[in-house]
Chains A and B, each alone.
Chain A
Amino acid sequence: MITLSINGVKVQAESGASVLGIARANGVWIPSLCHHDSLSDYGACRLCLVEIIGRGGRRKVTTSCTLPAAEGLEVVTESERLTRLRRLVMELILASCPQSPAVLELAEKMGVKSGRLETNPANDCILCGLCVRACREISQAEAISFGNRGVERKVTTPFGELSHRCVLCGACVFVCPTGSRLLNLAKIAGEEPRALLSRFDAELTSTGAISRPFPQAVPNVPAINPLACLKLNRDACGLCEKICEAKAICYQDADRLRKLDVGAIIAAPGFEPFVPDHDYGQGYTTNPDVVTSMEFERMLSASGPFGGHVVRPSDGRAPRRIAFLQCVGSRDVSCRNGYCSSVCCMYAVKEAIIAKEHQSKVEPTIFVMDIRAFGKDFDKFVERAKSEYGIVFKYSRVADVVRDEKTGENEVVFTDESGRLQRERFDLVILSVGLEPSADMRRLARALGVNMNAFGFIWTEPLRPLATSRAGLFAAGAATGPKDIPETVIQASAAACEAARLLAPARNTLVTAKTYPPERNIAGEPVRVGVFICHCGINIAGVVDVPFVKDYAATLPGVAYADHNLYTCSQDTQKLIKQCIEEHRLNRVVVASCSPRTHEALFQETMRESGLNPHLFVMANIRDQCSWVHQRDPQGATEKAQDLVRMAVAMARLAAPLKSVALPVTPTALVMGGGLSGMTAALAIADQGFKVCLVEKDKELGGNLRKLQKTLDGQDLQALLSATIGRVRNHSNIQSHVGAALREIKGFVGNYESALSDGAVFKHGAIVVATGALEYQPKEYGFGQHKNIITQLELGRRLEQGLKNEPSSVVMIQCVGSREEPRLYCSRVCCSKAVQNAIRLKALYPRADVHVLYRDMRTYGLREPYYADARDQGVLFTRFDLSARPEVTWNGKGGAPTVSVKDPILGQTMTLEPDLLVLSTGMIADSEANDALAKQLKVPLNQDGFFLEAHVKLRPVEFATDGIYVAGLAHAPKSADESTAQALAAASRACVLLSRRELEAHGTIGDVDAERCVACGLCEKICAFGAITLEVQRIGRSDRLLAKINPALCKGCGACSASCRCGAITLRGFTDEQIMAEISAL
């Protein structure tokens, strides 16, 4: 380091560094146009003139960018002479380049006006040579340079010909101060550059060769795109390494082959959206206003490319009429995707609603073959879309989208239900693209040695939906077939369960527990806060005056030590913090740096390693919420940083050590329900070495599975039933209680005690609710009044033995008792069941007419090919609307039932006289039983009487109350394989709990002040987790009713504290006193 003086102020700098750079780093402004921090300087623009004072006070003018710093150098940056000289230079530049905004702005700042010299408006190059230097130094391409001499001098390629050396990196364009038209890459390289597109933003925005993949990526750090990086491809550039002060860039990192010994493998490689290429038609590749649903999803996002505004890509105007075309790349054998993608109907409805919420004038129309809203509560969502948002659904087949170039409108050409060709105009067309196996699925499947199905998804066993063709290898999610988020999350947990079954004996064998020094008792110690302010390289220090804030922090009451560090999160600094805690006897620590969401856990770990309770640590966020968002206001940011540090210190002064409570766990599960789900869950838990108590209300195990014969793909369910019952009976860890009910349950997560109606009493740690559902007994369509009117389940049973008489005609009616008030939900399995029975009928009696009257055929996912097969076999499918439902009559006692329904193609009423009328009845919740159980367990039901999970997508098998899980039909209607997956998932979650020796209740929980509590019970009502109960407690010598918080259930939200009218509850770690102190400190 050397010392030089700038305008009489002594400044320290690296020897040889450019004086321009040193001056700017010290806040001294010197004009310049040809300087770039990442490039060498050569004094081209001559604007950065300064004076250096030589021996004897002689002043010499020189360019500061090319002036190396030397010991004792004296520099003057402002003088009358310099101003005059700089203005003259600026006048010349302005005359040569009179239109460039950057030049005009600088000229104005320097007080230079044009007029004296002749100008050349056509010119936009000031010959600063930044582009030439960038091309040479950054990309090392040397594609452009200066050609000619004197007034003819210009930036050009050798001989003005197309350059084969240009790599289209665009560095020249990026650094050009005037935005010169000369730097046209198409003219330099003969090729248009292509922007690197962000995959996350559906390629609607561009991105850099090094960037964060998306805002919430894990880990949330930038990554280099190896295909685009100049350094990796040409050993050029290397800028990011130079700029990164943390020295985090390592170009040498390469893929490494590692060998791992594992007991099980889970494959979850996901899917790729279908790309409607040129051959597919509908104009996606040529029409700018035809976008895919993935693109539209990003367009709707508030953090997306258009900030959440719905705009047409072609002209940026807000569209009014928008069309969603469903089944693009799904249910379509022409692109070999004969399956249904399962999710497109719902996301289209969701996108239509969001578009409407963003812009109320939008009129969305969804072109569908069927509305497949088969998931839990999906139909209610669709009905809301129709009634509240006015979204129109059109049953149709779309042929093409034709763009009218004059008006920019897009004509959707389609056939309506009656088969007539129609045309409708839209401003924007969205293609609801389906799900496909990822491109390298074949390679992956081969590497794993697993089979694929006909569509290229990973094949799994029909009744063990996670098991692949290779033992010990499981697959989950959309890689095994299209599915939505709840299903993939369920499958993920289920796959974990299958793996854990194999690995259970090895559980905890590779764990090493970390040991900490004993916690220091700080009771009675005076408050001694240590404050560490982080520079975060230049991230904070570039804006906030960190040394100043540190000096300020040292003056705050209670602060015993203050310091500032280049990176407070670095390992060295952790050591330093530990030393400081010891040396200065610190008992509270405040770190002012990034967000607690980034590094709070790290610093709390350091606290524990120093023998301090982690809750004695407080963080002030002066980067994400200060320096990064006030970059243009250093003074305001510094003031804010001071305030934030002061508030954090105020909070820390009142911080108290919080103890976490350890509670034992009884490694036993109670499984309610002995159907397929209950038995599957019981076996999965028992196989992992835990005891299970299986309770079934009927006299026999099996539940609804007893009534089912075969699945759609021909699997024998009765064989599954007897095998499963056999395993349950013989499992040493399972105790079955048939014909029993839950009489009483006490306790909480990990520590329940239950009594059954058969007298058994036992302790358990977890509960799985798998109580099933009931078959709806219809009142509609004359059921029960005519012997030839039966349910689909009954038909399945009869078909097993063969019908007594060969039928000449069978009619099936779908959605009996489902999808209309008071049961506005889809029973999910009835369409597949109808298709299954129809195919079976056609196989047994090829001459029989089979008619299926449906509202929407919901053969989702890989069930779709069976629907296609049924149509190929000659089964007739006729759609009806709820407003024109089929009518069933019959003459006298013996007459065959007559079904009349409107045929949408002819528009006339069609009359059918079937030998058998089959009603596809749905499932209903066992409301009475569910109600009672829900009250006992304190868990919620949805409005249809099914159990309501904690979160539809993220926690589909759990309740908000810890320790209770749900699976199977108790949750919602679903098929046998889906029930199996959900049962495994519930077992998996339960085993996470049961495998712990003890539960650690975190310290930030509510705390009741017995002196103040009046037992009003408001907190009990408000608590969403059932953590608060009013209980009689012994206070002193009297028994009083008081609120009691169960530390095992409390999540620490503080709603009780904020609502307590007596101020009797506070939240540890965020006490009223602490928050009030923060407020007062401001």
Chain B
Amino acid sequence: MNEQHSEWQPRILAFLCNWCSYAGADLAGVSRLQYPPNVRIVRVPCSGRVNPGYILKALQEGVDGVLVSGCHPGDCHYLTGNYHARRKFRLLKELLDFVGVEDGRVQFAWVSAAEGAKFAQVMAEVTEKVRALGPNRRLAKKIGNPKSQ
């Protein structure tokens, strides 16, 4: 029907912490700031809750990009959760580099509850970046879908 949906659309998964980024996403909605509909959101209590395994799992399941977003440094509802997330992410990044997952497929952002505009902007940027990278082929192994090995 709609032209832009006939072409390939990236599918992106976002892990948002409940207290800052998820609230920022809500604020973008309240402010009616428009961004591309490619991102699916998973609410987690804290960015520190995000096990790197989730990100790998998402890539295996054929997701084209992953975003993890938490509170700004110093603002964590759980004091230090976002610092733990940052450290984990730093390590994961090296692993992803090593296995050949392109830079930019997995991204990290700080978005506060007051930054609706920033959230919409991050969404647009992440979508564009992943779109530019094309479909995720490196880790994706959907059973019964041999095309995206």
Contacts and interface: CB of A to CB of B under 8 A. Distances in A.
Contact of A628 (B29, B41, B52, B79): B29
Contacts of A1051: 78
Interface string A621-658: 10111101111110111011001100100000000000
Given A1058-B84, A1075-B42, A1082-B63, A597 B26 contact: yes
The residue in A220, A301, A302, A1022 that gathers the most chain B C-beta atoms within 10 A of its C-beta is A302
Given A624-B26, A629-B35, A302 B54 contact: no
B58 A1072 contact: no
B37 A633 contact: yes
Contact of A1053 (B37, B43, B45): B45
B114 A1053 contact: no
Interface string B31-59: 11111111011111110111111100110
A253 B79 CA distance: 43
A486 to B, nearest CB: 15
Nearest to A643: B40
A1054 B46 contact: yes
A215 B114 contact: yes
A415 to B, nearest CB: 39
Contact of B44 (A303, A636, A1075): A1075
Interface stretch (B93-101, B115-123, B133-141): B115-123
Contact of A640 (B23, B37, B49): B37
Interface in A590-648: 595-598, 621, 623-626, 628-633, 635-637, 639-640, 643-644, 647
Contacts of B129: none
B37 A1082 contact: no
Contact of B5 (A597, A630, A635, A647): A635
B29 A635 contact: no
Nearest to B14: A625
B22 interface: yes
A626 B50 CA distance: 23
Given A215-B114, A596-B43, A1072 B51 contact: yes
A354 interface: no
Contact of A1076 (B37, B50, B57, B80): B57
A637 B37 contact: yes
Interface residues of A, number: 54
Contacts of B145: none
B32 to A, nearest CB: 6
Interface string A233-261: 00000000000000000000000000000
Q: Is the interface of B mostly helix, strand, loop or mixed?
A: mixed
The residue in A220, A302, A1053 that gathers the most chain B C-beta atoms within 10 A of its C-beta is A1053
The residue in B37, B78, B113, B116 that gathers the most chain A C-beta atoms within 10 A of its C-beta is B37
Contact of A302 (B29, B88, B118): B118
B81 to A, nearest CB: 5
A1079 B29 contact: no
Contacts of A595: 22, 26, 29
B25 A216 contact: no
A12 interface: no
Contacts of A1072: 51, 53
Given A1004-B45, A1053-B45, A1058-B88, A635 B1 contact: yes
A1080 interface: yes
B48 A1055 contact: yes
A107 to B, nearest CB: 23
Contacts of B49: 1053-1055, 1057-1058, 1067, 1070
Interface residues of B, number: 54
Contacts of A202: none
Contacts of A216: 27, 113-114
B61 A624 contact: no
B23 A1055 contact: no
A1054 B31 CA distance: 31
A1072 B52 CA distance: 11
Contacts of B33: 629
A664 B113 CA distance: 35
A408 interface: no
B34 A1053 contact: no
A747 interface: no
Given A1057-B49, A1059-B84, A1070-B44, A1079 B26 contact: no
B2 to A, nearest CB: 5
B52 to A, nearest CB: 8
B126 interface: no
Contacts of B118: 302
Contacts of A597: 22-23, 26
Given A303-B114, A1055-B49, A1055-B78, A1079 B58 contact: yes
Interface string B7-24: 000010100000000110
B81 A639 contact: no
A189 interface: no
Interface string A674-715: 000000000000000000000000000000000000000000
A949 to B, nearest CB: 12
Contacts of B46: 1053-1055
A1055 B37 contact: no
A629 B22 contact: no
B109 to A, nearest CB: 13
A1078 interface: yes
B28 interface: yes
B78 A1053 contact: yes
B50 A1058 contact: yes
B26 A1057 contact: no
Nearest to B9: A636
A1024 interface: yes
Contacts of A639: 37
Contacts of B57: 1076, 1079-1080
Contacts of A640: 37, 40
A1054 B54 contact: no
B13 to A, nearest CB: 6
A627 to B, nearest CB: 8
A410 B110 CA distance: 37
A388 to B, nearest CB: 15
Contacts of A1057: 49, 51
B60 to A, nearest CB: 9
B37 A626 contact: yes
B117 to A, nearest CB: 6
The residue in A597, A623, A632, A950 that gathers the most chain B C-beta atoms within 10 A of its C-beta is A597
Contact of A624 (B13, B30, B79): B30
Interface in A1041-1058: 1051-1055, 1057-1058
The residue in B26, B32, B54, B61 that gathers the most chain A C-beta atoms within 10 A of its C-beta is B26
Interface in A774-809: none
A1075 B40 contact: no
B29 A1024 contact: no
Interface string A512-524: 0000000000000
B45 A1052 contact: yes
Nearest to B12: A1082
A1016 to B, nearest CB: 16
Contact of B30 (A628, A643, A1025): A628
Contact of A303 (B40, B45, B61, B115): B115
A1010 interface: no
Contacts of A626: 29, 37
Given A624-B25, A632-B34, A635-B5, 10 more contacts: A215-B114, A302-B115, A633-B2, A635-B1, A635-B2, A637-B37, A639-B37, A1022-B80, A1076-B57, A1080-B57
21 contacts: A216-B27, A624-B26, A625-B25, A629-B34, A629-B35, A630-B34, A630-B35, A635-B1, A639-B37, A1022-B80, A1053-B46, A1053-B48, A1055-B46, A1057-B49, A1057-B51, A1058-B48, A1067-B49, A1076-B54, A1078-B42, A1082-B11, A1082-B61
The 10 tightest CB contacts between A and B, nearest first, are A624-B29, A1054-B49, A1053-B78, A636-B37, A1055-B48, A628-B29, A1024-B79, A624-B26, A1053-B46, A630-B37
